[in-house]
A and B are shown apart, each in its own frame.
Chain A
Amino acid sequence: MSKPYYDAADLRKFGKITEWSEELGNKFFDYYGKVFEEGALTAREKSLIALAVAHTEQCPYCIDAYTKDGLQRGITKPEMMEAIHVGAAIKSGATLVHGVQMMNKVNKLEM
């Protein structure tokens, strides 16, 4: 039997983190709940942001959670995929923009 590091059933146990540190855990979940409420951004927009970030963070629990959340909100497949591309574009952009640092360094070192 292989023992994977991640188990999909563990997502349901997320709330249990309060058991070993109640105050901090509760503060986190209160904050978390508040963040996703309808605000200046709609709950739907926040769900799509969460989906994109879930991918850039490569968090399997978050991907499961926000894919399902999106379906529940009637978010379509193209909308979900476009959101992920936004995350991917920022990720690759963040890599490539460091190319400027590399170029600066080369220009400084080379005669």
Chain B
Amino acid sequence: MATKSLKARNNDIANTSRQMEILSSGIFANGELPTFAAKIKETGHFPLRPKKLEILQINLGYMCNQVCEHCHVDAGPDRKEIMTVETMQQCLEVIKKTEAHTLDLTGGAPEMNPNFRWFVEEAAKAGIKDFIVRSNLTIIRANKKYYDLPEFFKKHNVHVVSSMPHWTRGKTDKQRGDGVFDKSIKALQELNAVGYGMPGSDLKLDLVYNPSGAFLPGDQMALEADFKKALKADFDIDFHSLFAITNLPISRFLDYLIASDNYEDYMHSLLDAYNPAAVENVMCTNTISISWDGWLYDCDFNQMLNLKVASKVKHVSDYNEDLLQDRNIIINQHCYGCTAGAGSSCQGVVA
């Protein structure tokens, strides 16, 4: 189990241009597999264009209390990139005028940003009704100062979305680190205790499932039923929906695919499962991703590959929604991760 980010380990893959090189060479250069651009051209989806903006996804920093094997952010305790109050203020200006109705806060562990609570409160004042916080659960138990997070979430009616790779301890700890399963269970029980995830409750608690290995997620509904049954029977835990998310071949997961000699087979699996219907609703068509330092991206994955939006407006300080929405979305072979099977997005399946 890794305890340091790729960046701290000076791993080759931490270099984003190296990742782009890998994704553009080999089986995609020799014609064994079509590029994503060629594939979406078949159904007239090229160039990919934004639709109505619905979600602002803001990355509050790459610092995290966990170092998950598959993390596409390469987050960890050693990452010091944290959004400043100044950048948060620029985001708040955007929130006041955007058409987007949902603010999706992610990281790292977004709660570890020292101004996280202030930012949520200010965003609420600025008119955001739908908050999503992507919480890794263990943060709630990591330190006394986080123990009251469930109450804080409840106060602002935050929609909590949490990763939970499996309903068994072994699979969870293997992906996310020793002890993560027990802490996550405790955190889920505490969220349930304040009303989160209960049947009929407005306090939304959804779980995210990422496969822990070089395979794609199975049927989201079937997995949700299995998770619900097991978590209820074993730990009396309730939650609302399960989002099955495909791991994209970037960052730590790409490093794993290559090191385990699974890269080519995985790309074939994504291609075999390619679903043109999923292209219609990929999340980059209704989301803008903002990095900790205020740069704008089509999605969180492009952020991690350092592929800034193809627009005159590239930074939150110059934000202009009309200009920004009139752009082509930047794509590459990693995008196959969002179009496999029923599709994959931060809200689960899309087709």
Binding site for B on A (CB under 8 A): 12, 42-44, 68, 71-74, 76
Residues on B with beta carbons closer than 8 Å to the beta carbon of A71: 211, 213, 215
Q: Judge whether B332 is part of the interface by a CB distance below 8 angstroms.
A: no
**Are B166 and A74 in contact, with the CB atoms below 8 A?**
yes
Give the complex CA separation of A103 and B217 in angstroms: 51
**Are B222 and A76 in contact, with the CB atoms below 8 A?**
no
**Are A73 and B211 in contact, with the CB atoms below 8 A?**
no
Give the complex CA separation of A43 and B209 in angstroms: 19
**Are B215 and A74 in contact, with the CB atoms below 8 A?**
no
Q: Judge whether B168 is part of the interface by a CB distance below 8 angstroms.
A: yes
Give the complex CA separation of A72 and B217 in angstroms: 5
1/0 per residue, CB under 8 A from A, across B198-217: the answer is 00000000000101010111
**Are B211 and A43 in contact, with the CB atoms below 8 A?**
no
Q: A68, A71, A73, A74 — which one has the most chain B CB atoms within 10 A of its CB?
A: A74
Cβ of B243 to closest chain A Cβ, rounded Å? 14
Question: Among the listed B171, B211, B223, B268, which residue makes an inter-chain contact with A76, where contact means beta carbons less than 8 Å apart?
Answer: B171
The residue of chain A having its C-beta at the shortest distance from the C-beta of B265 within the complex is: A8
Cβ of B154 to closest chain A Cβ, rounded Å? 30
Cβ of A33 to closest chain B Cβ, rounded Å? 14
**Are B222 and A73 in contact, with the CB atoms below 8 A?**
yes
The residue of chain B having its C-beta at the shortest distance from the C-beta of A44 within the complex is: B222
**Are A72 and B222 in contact, with the CB atoms below 8 A?**
no
Q: B209, B213, B218, B223 — which one has the most chain A CB atoms within 10 A of its CB?
A: B218
Cβ of B19 to closest chain A Cβ, rounded Å? 25
**Are B171 and A73 in contact, with the CB atoms below 8 A?**
no
Interchain residue pairs with CB less than 8 A apart (22): A12-B268, A42-B222, A43-B219, A44-B222, A44-B226, A68-B215, A71-B211, A71-B213, A71-B215, A72-B211, A72-B216, A72-B217, A72-B218, A73-B218, A73-B222, A73-B223, A74-B166, A74-B209, A74-B223, A74-B226, A76-B168, A76-B171
10 closest A-B pairs by beta carbon, nearest first, are A72-B218, A73-B218, A71-B215, A72-B215, A68-B215, A74-B226, A74-B223, A72-B216, A76-B168, A71-B213
Cβ of A12 to closest chain B Cβ, rounded Å? 6
- Number of chain B interface residues as a range: 10 to 19
Give the complex CA separation of A12 and B267 in angstroms: 12
Given contacts A12-B268, A76-B171, contact A43 B222 (CB under 8 A): yes
Residues on B with beta carbons closer than 8 Å to the beta carbon of A42: 222
Q: A12, A43, A71, A76 — which one has the most chain B CB atoms within 10 A of its CB?
A: A71
1/0 per residue, CB under 8 A from A, across B145-168: the answer is 000000000000000000000111
Give the complex CA separation of A74 and B210 in angstroms: 11
Give the complex CA separation of A74 and B222 in angstroms: 10
8 A Cβ contacts from B158-198 to A: 166-168, 171
Give the complex CA separation of A106 and B33 in angstroms: 63
Residues on B with beta carbons closer than 8 Å to the beta carbon of A12: 268, 272
Give the complex CA separation of A42 and B225 in angstroms: 12
The residue of chain B having its C-beta at the shortest distance from the C-beta of A12 within the complex is: B268
**Are A74 and B268 in contact, with the CB atoms below 8 A?**
no
Residues on A with beta carbons closer than 8 Å to the beta carbon of B215: 68, 71-72
